[in-house]
């Protein structure tokens, strides 16, 4: 499989224009109901004030529909977008899907990765996403040979996010073995730094910037041995950085972990210092009650990726039990079977209904919180994901007059947005005070054309 580059995608995008104030027809300010006629003023990249106002100033831009904080996509592998459509044909399992995914990985170099990620991140922006947690493990060239700049691939992702107009938390991922005591295969050699100290040296060369945070990730207990887990956890701890890990996505991972270490993946990660209030367990589909107690007790995050988990036949994560144990829920589009945080949000509740026979474990405001406030916090953006003075000025407006969302009335606008709207109903997006989506279109990128160009 090849991924084409394109000279015309080399242009640097403008990042949208600034507007001094918005008058929101309806705004979700974190409560159970939306508030009508809210005036939001902007100062630079921050929200200056939030006030109910029936008579806004003449220069305020009217936002019709429901305005919510920008969404946080807390778990992404940008290049997996190339599998959309292709991976849904035929039969198989997570493990056969992984073979297809490795084919795509093998075709990428920094230039192609930048083009592909720019288009995928622009798709996210158009879906109302203002920050992405990119779980990045494709570090090196063919055979595992580093590029001249050892962080060329990470730099490509950061540049792509900047051009697309959203913030990125680059979760630089340690990946050292093909399975517990299994050698790396040809593709996996590109993921590995050789050992954890080499990983730490390379990751330490990456730097935060106003729209960039550097975090760490442990790919999984399959790919990172216990001593290396300690090194990555210590690196993140020294920096106060987010630390993410794939956890218990498949029953086979649990079986292998228990057989090798006498512990579940969460128990092993906790024992080695990884589980804290900065830790996100991605998936956590097949966890025990003790695992949930460990995550909740540490004030950790659980990132559910329901559209990927159902696509890969992973199972349904115990979202209510996670929350009841004290863990906080976040959402990710992961493999990008679709990029639609509203679909991820409602899937948490709707999948739980199918699994439990009970309706209403997660109400619409709590699902929106997972998609916004919690997601940003888990990615190290504690000053985002809220419409309040001082927060980063991220506003995602969902149209309530489309064929999917018309009717229902303002008192049910949050439920309408979460349970019926799609990414296609996002018609206006502001990130860091800049307009990046207007009338449903990215202001500087033809997203569909760039996707078609960048994807095989
Ligand atoms: Zn993942």
Paired strand residues for 57:
none
Instruction: Label residue 2 by pLDDT band (50, 70, 90).
Output: very low
- Ligand 1 mean position, distance from CA 122 (Å): 20
Whether the pLDDT of residue 14 is over 60: the answer is: no
- Ligand 1 mean position, distance from CA 360 (Å): 28
The residues annotated with a catalytic role in the active site are 283, 334
- Ligand 1 mean position, distance from CA 76 (Å): 6
The pLDDT value given to residue 99:
86
Nearest of 332, 367, 341, 348 to residue 244 by alpha carbon: 332
- Ligand 1 mean position, distance from CA 171 (Å): 11
Kindly state the average pLDDT of the residues 380-394. 98
The pLDDT value given to residue 16:
80
Whether the pLDDT of residue 4 is over 90: the answer is: no
Instruction: Label residue 13 by pLDDT band (50, 70, 90).
Output: very low
The pLDDT value given to residue 18:
86
Kindly state the average pLDDT of the residues 9-17. 54
Kindly state the average pLDDT of the residues 147-169. 98
- Ligand 1 mean position, distance from CA 452 (Å): 23
- Ligand 1 mean position, distance from CA 334 (Å): 5
The pLDDT value given to residue 142:
94
- Ligand 1 mean position, distance from CA 73 (Å): 12
The pLDDT value given to residue 6:
39
Comparison of pLDDT for 52 and 161, the residue scoring more: 161
The pLDDT value given to residue 285:
97
What DSSP letter does each residue of 154-207 carry, written as one string?
A: HHHHHHHHHHHT-EEEEEEEE---SBTTB---TTGGGG--SSHHHHHHHHHT--
- Ligand 1 mean position, distance from CA 342 (Å): 19
Whether the pLDDT of residue 11 is over 70: the answer is: no
- Ligand 1 mean position, distance from CA 236 (Å): 19
User: Residue 239 has which token pair?
Assistant: 């920096």
* pLDDT tens digits, one per residue of 185-242: 999 999 999 999 999 999 999 999 999 999 999 999 999 999 999 999 999 999 999 9
Instruction: Label residue 86 by pLDDT band (50, 70, 90).
Output: confident
- Ligand 1 mean position, distance from CA 82 (Å): 15
Nearest of 114, 81, 110, 155 to residue 9 by alpha carbon: 114
The pLDDT value given to residue 10:
37
What's the chain's Rg over C-alpha atoms?
Answer: 21
The pLDDT value given to residue 265:
98
Instruction: Label residue 351 by pLDDT band (50, 70, 90).
Output: very high
Nearest of 334, 352, 341, 350 to residue 374 by alpha carbon: 341
Whether the pLDDT of residue 324 is over 60: the answer is: yes
The pLDDT value given to residue 248:
96
Instruction: Label residue 97 by pLDDT band (50, 70, 90).
Output: confident
Kindly state the average pLDDT of the residues 382-389. 98
- Ligand 1 mean position, distance from CA 411 (Å): 36
pTM (whole model) above 0.85: yes
CA 253 to chain centre: 23
- Ligand 1 mean position, distance from CA 84 (Å): 15
* pLDDT tens digits, one per residue of 20-54: 899 999 999 999 999 999 999 999 999 999 998 87
- Ligand 1 mean position, distance from CA 50 (Å): 36
Instruction: Label residue 280 by pLDDT band (50, 70, 90).
Output: very high
- Ligand 1 mean position, distance from CA 215 (Å): 15
Distance CA(393)–CA(386), nearest Å, equals 9
Percentage of residues in the chain with pLDDT exceeding 90? 88
* pLDDT tens digits, one per residue of 232-276: 999 999 999 999 999 999 999 999 999 999 999 999 999 999 999
- Ligand 1 mean position, distance from CA 446 (Å): 27
- Ligand 1 mean position, distance from CA 383 (Å): 25
- For the stretch 247-277, what's the b/e string if a residue is b when 16 or more beta carbons lie within 10 angstroms of its beta carbon? bbbbeebbebbeebbebbbbbbbbebbbbee
The pLDDT value given to residue 94:
82
Nearest of 292, 327, 303, 134 to residue 217 by alpha carbon: 134
Query: Could you give the 3-state DSSP secondary structure of residue 31?
Result: coil
* pLDDT tens digits, one per residue of 418-433: 999 999 999 999 999 9
> Is the Cβ–Cβ distance between 1 and 374 less than 8 Å?
no
- Which of 5-19, 82-96, 109-123 bottoms out in mean pLDDT, i.e. has the lowest? 5-19
């Amino acid at each position: 499989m090849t991924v084409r580059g394109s000279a015309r995608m080399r242009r640097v995008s403008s990042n949208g224009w600034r507007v001094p104030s918005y008058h929101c027809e309806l705004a979700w300010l974190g409560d159970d109901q939306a508030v009508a006629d809210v005036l939001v003023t902007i100062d630079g990249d921050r929200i200056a004030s939030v006030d109910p106002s029936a008579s806004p100033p003449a220069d305020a831009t009217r936002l019709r529909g429901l305005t919510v904080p920008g969404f946080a996509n807390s778990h992404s592998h940008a290049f997996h977008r190339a599998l959309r459509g292709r991976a849904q044909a035929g039969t198989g399992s997570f493990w056969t899907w992984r073979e297809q995914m490795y084919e795509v990985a093998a075709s990428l170099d920094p230039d192609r990765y930048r083009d592909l990620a720019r288009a995928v991140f622009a798709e996210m922006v158009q879906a109302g996403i203002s920050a992405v947690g990119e779980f990045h493990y494709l570090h090196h060239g063919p055979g595992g040979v580093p590029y001249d700049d050892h962080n060329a691939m990470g730099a490509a992702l950061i540049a792509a996010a900047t051009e697309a107009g959203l913030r990125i938390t680059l979760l630089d991922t340690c990946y050292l073995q093909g399975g517990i005591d299994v050698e790396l295969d040809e593709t996996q050699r590109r993921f590995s730094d050789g050992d954890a100290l080499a990983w730490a040296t390379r990751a330490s060369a990456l730097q935060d910037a106003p729209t960039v945070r550097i975090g760490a990730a442990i790919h999984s207990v399959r790919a990172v041995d216990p001593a290396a887990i300690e090194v990555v956890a210590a690196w993140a701890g020294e920096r106060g950085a987010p630390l993410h890990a794939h956890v218990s996505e498949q029953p086979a991972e649990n079986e292998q972990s228990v057989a090798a270490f006498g512990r579940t993946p969460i128990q092993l990660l906790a024992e080695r210092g990884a589980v804290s209030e900065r830790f996100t367990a991605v998936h956590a589909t097949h966890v025990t009650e003790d695992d949930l107690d460990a995550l909740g007790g540490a004030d950790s995050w659980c990132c559910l990726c329901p559209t990927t988990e159902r696509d890969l036949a992973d199972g349904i994560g115990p979202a209510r039990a996670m929350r009841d144990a004290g863990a906080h829920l976040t959402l990710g589009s992961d493999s990008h079977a679709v990029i639609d945080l509203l679909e991820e949000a409602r899937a948490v509740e709707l999948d739980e209904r199918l699994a439990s026979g009970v309706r209403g474990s997660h109400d619409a405001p709590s699902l929106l919180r997972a998609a916004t406030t919690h997601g940003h916090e888990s990615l190290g953006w504690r000053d985002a994901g809220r419409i309040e003075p001082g927060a980063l000025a991220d506003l995602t407006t969902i149209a309530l007059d489309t064929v999917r969302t018309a009717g229902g009335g303002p008192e049910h606008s949050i439920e309408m947005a979460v349970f019926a709207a799609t990414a296609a109903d996002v018609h206006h997006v502001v990130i860091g005070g800049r307009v990046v989506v207007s009338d449903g279109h990215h202001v500087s990128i033809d997203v569909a054309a760039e996707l078609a160009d960048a994807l095989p």
